[in-house]
Amino acid sequence: MTTLDIVIADDEPLARSRLRRLLSGHADLRLTGEAACAAELRAMVIQRAPHLVILDIDMPGEDGLSAAHWLAEMPAPPAVIFVTAHPQFALDAFSAQAAGYLLKPVERDRLLAAIEAARKPTRASASALQSAIEPPRVSVSAGRRARLLPAEDIVAFRAEDKGVTVFARDGQYFVDESLKNLAQRFEPAGFLRVHRAWLVALGRIRALERDAVGRHWIEIAGLPETVPVSRRQLAELHARLRR
C-alpha cells in the first residue's frame, strides 16, 4: 500500500500529541510535520507536499476553514481531514472539499477510517465525480445557521477584497472562498467567469450591451446592477450564449 505523507495542524500541543500517537505503528502512514497555525501549515505544505493534512478548525489567526480553501486551490491539493470540537462547522467543511470531519477527542478507528476514505478516490477525481453526479452547492451563513445553496438558486458571484459575495434569489451572502475556486465548481453547471471579479449564471442573462467607448455590460435577472464583461471573455460569452 502506498505510504501517505501526513501533516498535522493544531494549535494545541496535547491535541497534536494525541494525533501523533494514533498515527504511530502504521507503516503506511508517515508523519512529515506538525504546524501550530495556518501560516506554519502553508509553509510546510509548500515545502513538503504532503498527501494528507489533519487540520483543526478553531486556531488563532487564520482558521482551519480558510486554510483548507487555500489548500483546495493548489494544483495538486492534499486531502484534508478536519478535527474539531465544534460539530456546527460540518457544512462549512463540506464547502472546503474536506475528505473527513472528526470530533475531538478523536478515536483511532474513526481516524483510520477517514484516512482510508481519503486514499481512494483522489481529491481531484472525487471532485470531478461529484460535479458530474450532482449540481454544485456553496455553504453560506444565514444567521446562526449554515445552509447549502444550490446552483439553481444563485444569480452571480462577485469577488471582494477577502472573499466573495453570493447573489441569490433570496438575498446576498458572503463566503470565505476565492472566485477561482467557485468558478472551477460552478462553470460546468452553467456559469461563466465574464470578468476577473464576476462569475454569472448564463441562464439569467437578459441583455448584452455595448457603451459609447466600446465596453460591454450584461443585464442579469435578479441582479440590481449591470455586470462588466472583459474583452478576453467576450468571445467566450458570445459562444456560450449562442448555444
* pLDDT for 19: 96
pTM over 0.95: no
96-104, Cβ contacts within 8 angstroms, sequence gap of 24 or more = 96/65, 96/68, 96/69, 96/72, 97/68, 97/72, 97/123, 97/127, 98/68, 99/52, 99/123, 99/126, 104/15
Taking the C-alpha atoms of residue 127 and residue 80, their distance in angstroms, rounded to an integer, is 13
Return the pLDDT at 117: 82
Could you tell me the fold of the domain covering 137-242? OB fold (Dihydrolipoamide Acetyltransferase, E2P) (2.40.50)
Q: What pLDDT is recorded for position 42?
A: 94
pLDDT one-digit tens code per residue, 111-150: 998 898 888 654 444 454 444 445 688 888 777 777 888 8
**Residue bearing cell 466600446:** 214
Domain at 4-130, CATH homologous superfamily? Response regulator (3.40.50.2300)
The pLDDT of residue 243 is: 58
Q: What is residue 222's DSSP assignment?
A: T
Reported as a single tens digit per residue, the pLDDT across 56-103 is 999 988 999 999 989 988 878 899 999 988 777 666 666 677 888 898
The ranges assigned to domains in the chain are 4-130, 137-242
What is the C-alpha separation between 241 and 243, in angstroms, rounded? 5
Q: For position 134, what pLDDT does the model report? A: 54
